């Protein structure tokens, strides 16, 4: 019987991108957000001006899309590796459900309120309330990103172990 060739490249790419995204969201949480939300609504206007050329909204959505693509490739290429399939599949589910859909449905509308419409459309109190809700919910997004990264890394390690085992027995 011919052995099926298998590579851990797909899971490695997913794990690497998931860890990179988690790090990016972590930096955003610990360094960017305290500056953005320290004096709403003035700090929102300052942040909008500062992020005029490149900001988190320019980088994180494409990185997220690339990570989803890598997760799909990882699950597809590791489908026959039972020990990795569940971990990678769970990572894909937390990525799409816990991060992407949560961002689209919850954060993107609030970004529009705070940064596009701002004080020209909304009261200062409403902007402060929206900013507080955003910051609070963001901790859940950070946790979801950490869970996705952990699942992807575990899936990669399981896939890599199987790859080494198969190569060793070839």
CA distance 168 to 170: 6
Domain count, the chain: 1
pLDDT tens column, 19-61: 999 999 999 999 999 999 999 999 999 999 999 899 888 998 8
**Residue 17 belongs to some domain of the structure:** yes
Single pTM value for the model: 0.90
Q: What is the dihedral of CA 111, 113, 119, 125, to 10 degrees?
A: -100
Which residues of the chain fall short of a pLDDT of 70?
1-6, 169-170
**Residue 122 belongs to some domain of the structure:** yes
**Residue 62 belongs to some domain of the structure:** yes
**Residue 140 belongs to some domain of the structure:** yes
What residues make up the domain containing 40? 9-168
115: helix, strand or coil: helix
């Amino acid at each position: 019987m011919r052995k099926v060739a298998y590579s851990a490249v797909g899971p490695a790419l997913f794990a690497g991108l998931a860890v990179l995204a988690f790090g990016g969201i972590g930096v955003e949480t610990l360094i960017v957000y305290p500056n953005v939300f320290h004096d709403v609504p003035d700090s929102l206007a300052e942040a909008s001006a500062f992020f005029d050329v490149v900001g988190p909204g320019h980088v994180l959505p494409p990185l997220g899309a690339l990570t989803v693509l890598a997760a799909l490739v990882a699950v597809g290429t590791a489908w026959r590796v039972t020990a990795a399939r569940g971990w990678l599949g769970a990572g894909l589910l937390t990525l799409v459900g816990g991060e992407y859909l949560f961002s689209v449905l919850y954060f993107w509308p609030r970004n529009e309120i705070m940064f596009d419409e701002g004080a020209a459309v909304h009261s200062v109190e409403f902007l402060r309330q929206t900013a507080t809700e955003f910051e609070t919910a963001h901790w859940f997004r950070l946790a979801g990103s950490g869970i996705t990264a952990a699942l992807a890394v575990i899936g990669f390690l399981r896939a890599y172990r199987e790859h080494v085992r198969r190569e060793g027995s070839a």
